[in-house]
Amino acid sequence: MNTRKGFFFTLLIVILFFYMLSSIRTWVKGEHDALLEEPMRLREASLTSFQRGVEIDAARVAAIAGTNALQAVDTLVAYNVTRLGNATREVGEVMQNSTLNGSACFGVPIGTCMAGSPSCCYANQTQKAAFRWWGDRLTEEFAQYDVAAAFSETNAAVYMQSPYSARVSFNLTLSMNDSRGAASYFRVIAVVGDANIAGLEDPLFPLANSSLHRNITACAASPVSPLAVGSNGTGWVYGNVTNKGSAPACGSIAGGDKAKILVLGTVPTGCDSAVNSFGGVIFNASSMAIANITVPNTYNYTVDTTALLANGTYVLLNNNDDGSRHEILNVSVLRGVANGTGCYSPTQAGPDFLRRLENSSAASVRGIESFVNFTIVNGADVGAAANRSWVDYYYFNSTACGGGCYRIRGTQNCENTTQCADNALSHFRLDNRTTLYNLTQTHLQYYGLENLTYNQE
């Protein structure tokens, strides 16, 4: 009996031993396989990370390549004075290959791009940020990790996303293969990025005249700012303020200047000739008969104009012809623009930046516009420019004012009625065409000048 029990006990031990041995072998094999598979999983994860990194970097490169390509073609147009035939396609070629119509460089005045050099080269201008350079660099980088990568970029294009921003797009075909067989990827990715055109040259100006250069800067302020509104007055005049305080003596007003505007609280009795020796007068009350004031005037203000207007302040004293408005205006921004500062405003009646590269005045919903200035107009025959709006694309296209042009009060050579009526002088002119599709707002309304027109031509 004991012998039989011993036999079964021994048999159980042997069975358990072989089971444990088999389990150990299975575990050892599993651990061995896991150790072999772990590097492969790591490589697969790395390849996935590479792919995601390429997609993120592609959008960044699109923005950089687009910005640099726009700068490069802008230089071509402005200094080689050669318009683009198809801006979208040609900017796309520069983004893709650092060439334009197959050419790597173009002629410019010596020193435009490099000291002593009569040419500019797209590869230098774009700082090799073109898509093909980017793809080559990534291919070399991936090869160090035994990954065979191939990149191709197609359908590179650019279009205006807003008046001051261009959108760059292309299709990126990405192929990555791990040399150890861990994984492979093939994807076609739509890539977009944005490029800002602020600060670039407006190509419309040098294409009209190679000596004209102007950078694109958005207007920061309205051309006209109201300072105060009165309830009575007649006429208009622009001038330099002479402030005589709230209640001056008649003698202190004597010896006026027609280039100046008298400001005082109350006009004293018996000062007719003294008051009328100025170009205009602003006051709140008068002890003398209003009818005796023969120069442009406004009065009855809700604010103390003697405290508002310091000596030396330039203002436009303006009364509408129909008597509906009596106001004091700051027109310094308008005068600055007309004299050459050249800021830009959005419009839907004029060309966008890409169309300007093509020397086109065709309207765009993302268009921009500025005014030409006295330097430009005075360089031409004043008579030839008489019936042109000073809006840049109308002026350079010699477009006559369809609905009439208007001289604007307060601008240079239009500081009083006599001066503004002098046809021997050049005058700032603005058309009354609409500025937005499907809307009735005109240029005069858009710039807040509808109440400052002198006459219609």
Place of tokens 């075909």: 173
Looking at the fold, whether 349 and 451 belong to one and the same domain comes out as: yes
Looking at the fold, whether 267 and 351 belong to one and the same domain comes out as: no
Instruction: Pick the last residue of a domain from 148, 179, 196.
Output: 196
Q: State residue 304's pLDDT score.
A: 92
Residue 198 has pLDDT above 90, yes or no: yes
The dihedral through the CA atoms of 333, 337, 342, 347 has a sign that is positive
Looking at the fold, whether 87 and 233 belong to one and the same domain comes out as: no
Looking at the fold, whether 406 and 276 belong to one and the same domain comes out as: no
Please say whether the beta carbons of 370 and 202 come within 8 A: yes
163 in a structural domain: yes
Domain range for 91: 40-196
Packing angle of the helix pair 2-75, 131-143 (nearest 10 deg): 150
Looking at the fold, whether 176 and 73 belong to one and the same domain comes out as: yes
Residue 325 has pLDDT above 60, yes or no: yes
CA nearest 366: which of 214, 194, 212, 222? Answer: 194
Looking at the fold, whether 320 and 342 belong to one and the same domain comes out as: no
CA distances 379 to 56, 211, 384, Å, are 51, 12, 11
Using CA atoms in the order 319, 320, 324, 329, what is the torsion angle rounded to 10 degrees? -50
Please say whether the beta carbons of 130 and 98 come within 8 A: yes
What are the tens digits of pLDDT across the range 161-171? 999 999 998 88
Q: Which amino acid is at 173?
A: T
Using pLDDT thresholds of 50, 70 and 90, give the confidence band for residue 15.
low
Looking at the fold, whether 60 and 190 belong to one and the same domain comes out as: yes
CATH at residue 229: 3.50.30.10
Greater model confidence, 49 or 246: 246
CA dist 289 and 384 (Å) reads: 46
Looking at the fold, whether 137 and 172 belong to one and the same domain comes out as: yes
Q: Which amino acid is at 113?
A: C
Q: What is the distance in angstroms between the CA of the first residue and the CA of the last residue of the chain?
A: 135
The pair of three-digit structure tokens given for residue 253, joined into one six-digit string: 């007003």
Looking at the fold, whether 347 and 389 belong to one and the same domain comes out as: yes
Looking at the fold, whether 180 and 44 belong to one and the same domain comes out as: yes
Using CA atoms in the order 102, 107, 112, 115, what is the torsion angle rounded to 10 degrees? 100
Using pLDDT thresholds of 50, 70 and 90, give the confidence band for residue 36.
very low
145-182 as b/e, with b when 16 or more CB fall inside 10 Å? eebebebebeebbbebeebbebbbbbebebebbbeeeb
Percent of the chain with pLDDT over 90: 51
What predicted TM-score, i.e. pTM, was given to this entire model? 0.83
